[in-house]
């Protein structure tokens, strides 16, 4: 009989990955980033332990939306005041805040626990092709 080994927080082996969002569809890219942040692609993934990697995403203004989601899909927010429901088309929200749109897409794919806050701290999103994490030598994010 084999012993089940559970990963501890101190044993987490964190690597750096880089993904360019230029001409990539939002959903599949966000899925692969969320899996890397959670550590789901690793052999020693443990549900209760945060074993995820760092992910740097650049060129988020070049994201692509399939179909006519840019016009028809609405981003819905509430200001907290009475009658404060705000609905913005996805294309206009992407033009205004592309980094925030990608962070929201990834955030909504992460577990709804306190671990998600720590995972999101390892997500770095940049508008242009340059990023300040060159010293970490990030590898290309696997699909």
Residue 105 belongs to a domain: yes
Range of the domain at 104: 15-64+97-140
CATH number for the domain spanning 29: value is 3.90.1180.10
Instruction: Tell me if 55 is assigned to some domain.
Output: yes
Domain-embedded: residue 101: yes
85 falls within a domain: no
pLDDT tens string, the chain, 143 residues long: the values are 778 778 887 888 899 999 999 999 999 999 999 999 999 988 888 888 889 999 999 999 999 999 999 999 999 999 999 999 999 999 999 999 999 999 999 999 999 999 999 999 999 999 999 999 999 999 999 98
In a domain, 81, yes or no: no
Number of folded domains in the chain?
1
Rounded to whole angstroms, the Cα distance separating 121 from 57 reads 13
Helix and strand tally (H, E) in the chain? 5, 6
pTM value is 0.91
Examine residue 6 and state whether it is found in any structural domain, yes or no: no
């Amino acid at each position: 009989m084999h012993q089940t080994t559970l990963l501890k927080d101190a044993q987490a082996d964190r690597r750096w990955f880089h993904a360019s969002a230029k001409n990539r569809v939002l959903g599949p890219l966000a899925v692969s980033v969320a899996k890397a942040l959670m550590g789901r692609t690793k052999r020693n993934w443990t549900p209760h332990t945060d074993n995820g990697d760092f992910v740097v995403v650049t060129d988020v203004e070049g994201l692509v939306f399939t179909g006519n989601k840019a016009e028809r899909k609405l981003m819905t927010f509430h200001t907290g005041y009475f009658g404060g429901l705000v609905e913005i088309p996805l294309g206009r929200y992407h033009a205004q805040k592309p980094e925030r749109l990608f962070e929201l897409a990834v955030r909504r794919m992460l577990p709804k626990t306190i671990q998600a806050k720590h995972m999101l701290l390892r997500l770095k999103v940049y508008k242009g092709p340059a990023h300040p994490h060159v010293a970490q030598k990030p590898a290309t994010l696997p699909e």
